[in-house]
Amino acid sequence: MAIIGSSADLRNKCKEISDPCKATQEPIYITVNRKEDTAIIDSHVLDELYQTIDLMQKINESIADVNAGRTMSLEEAKKKLL
């Protein structure tokens, strides 16, 4: 479950807010005027998200290539690479 804190908490208790973020691997939402405004996420989790997005984009490109007929046989690939 996400932890929600105020912007004043962020300013005054940065380490106390970031520690649970690292421990739980979940975002912490910062509120301004009692409305969600910003999310803090552990940098390692963010890196993993970017890697996942990159992989998903490559998979989608590959699927598009197959659907468009841009394929080759194993023998053709071997010749091209060697």
Please state, for a pLDDT cut of 90, what percent of the chain lies above it. Answer: 56
Token pair listed for 26: 């979940």
Q: Which residues contact 39 (CB under 8 A, 6 or more apart)?
A: 27, 28, 29, 30
What is the distance between the terminal CA atoms of the chain, rounded to a whole angstrom?
A: 52
pLDDT at 1 over 60: no
**Which pair of tokens denotes residue 59?**
């998979």
Among the ranges given (16-20, 42-46, 61-65), the one the predictor scored with the smallest mean pLDDT: 16-20
- Work out the average pLDDT over 19-27: 91
Domains defined for the chain, CATH in brackets: 3-41 (3.40.1620.10), 44-81 (no CATH)
- Reported as a single tens digit per residue, the pLDDT across 37-47 is 888 899 999 99
- Whether the Cβ atoms of residue 37 and residue 8 lie closer than 8 Å to each other: no
Amino acid 30: pLDDT: 84
The better pLDDT of the pair 16, 62 is held by: 62
